[in-house]
Amino acid sequence: MPQSGRAIAFFDLDNTLVRGSTMFLYALTAWKHKQLRLIDIIRFGWHQLTFLTVGETDAHSVVAQSRGLALIAGRSVAALAEIAHAAVRDAVGSRLITASLDRARAHLERGDEVWIVTASPLAFAEIVAADLGFTGALGTEVESKDGIATGNLVNAPLHGRRKVDAITKLAKAKGIALADCSAYSDSRNDIPMLGAVGHAFAVNPDRGLTREAIRRGWEIIPIRQKRRA
């Protein structure tokens, strides 16, 4: 971790800050609130299992996006936000990853900003960030009209190279050099983001990221789950 100067620490969300898929946790909470069918949870459960065993892949991201958008289409933004708050309160907190959370808090204590950078919906990521006391979040923007989710995206998902564009824009707006910033992720898909900053950390990395971290000399951080009181 850098020792001096104002900076930003960027954290991926799924399997970096939170064990597994946060969208599955959202879906599970929605089912408990009788907003989803059992078959929807079974499908999300299989999706969660493959994510935990093989990690994030391009196919995983496409499936997650299409299923997630289909489930929210036609629902009120206010109701979706209510479920998101419940998911963060009841499910996300018990699956936080100790090593990443400790790093994030250390950055905050030094005066750095801490931002979540995720392909998950921006509104959900912002709720997670606020709950954790982070500075903010960058995520995929979901379209709504007259307070109703359309099931479409405003732009392409915040994934791969788009994360680099997003953190570059944020850092530039704040007058902070990316060379002074840090990034944390578990996935090979975030190698571009990790390579764009001065201090990269691989959190329980998949095979592709493990190879790249070893090649580039990035620190590899093992994980333990953290259960909040």
Is 134 inside a domain boundary?
Answer: yes
What is the pLDDT at residue 89? 86
Is 2 inside a domain boundary?
Answer: no
What is the pLDDT at residue 43? 54
Is 60 inside a domain boundary?
Answer: yes
* Confidence class for position 67, pLDDT limits 50, 70, 90: low
What is the pLDDT at residue 157? 82
Query: Number of folded domains in the chain?
Result: 1
Q: Exposed (0-12), middle (13-18) or buried (19+): which is 103, by Cβ within 10 Å?
A: buried
Q: What is the model's pTM?
A: 0.82
* Window from 9-18, 26-35, 146-155, 197-206 with minimum mean pLDDT: 26-35
| Rounded Cα distance, 132 and 203, in Å | 18
What is the pLDDT at residue 148? 87
Is 39 inside a domain boundary?
Answer: yes
| Residue range 171-195: mean pLDDT, rounded | 96
List the CATH number of the domain containing 157.
3.40.50.1000
What is the pLDDT at residue 126? 94
pLDDT in tens, 40-66: 554 555 444 444 444 455 544 544 555
Is 3 inside a domain boundary?
Answer: no
Task: List strand residue ranges (DSSP E) for 26-165, in order.
Answer: 96-97, 113-121, 136-140, 142-145, 148-153
pLDDT over 60 (residue 208):
yes
* Confidence class for position 25, pLDDT limits 50, 70, 90: confident
> E strand or H helix at 203, and its extent?
strand 199-203
Segments forming the whole domain that contains residue 160? 8-226
Is 1 inside a domain boundary?
Answer: no
* Dihedral angle sign, alpha carbons of residues 171, 178, 2, 194: positive
Is 120 inside a domain boundary?
Answer: yes
pLDDT in tens, 97-125: 999 999 999 999 999 999 999 988 888 89
- Mind telling me the catalytic residues? 12, 14
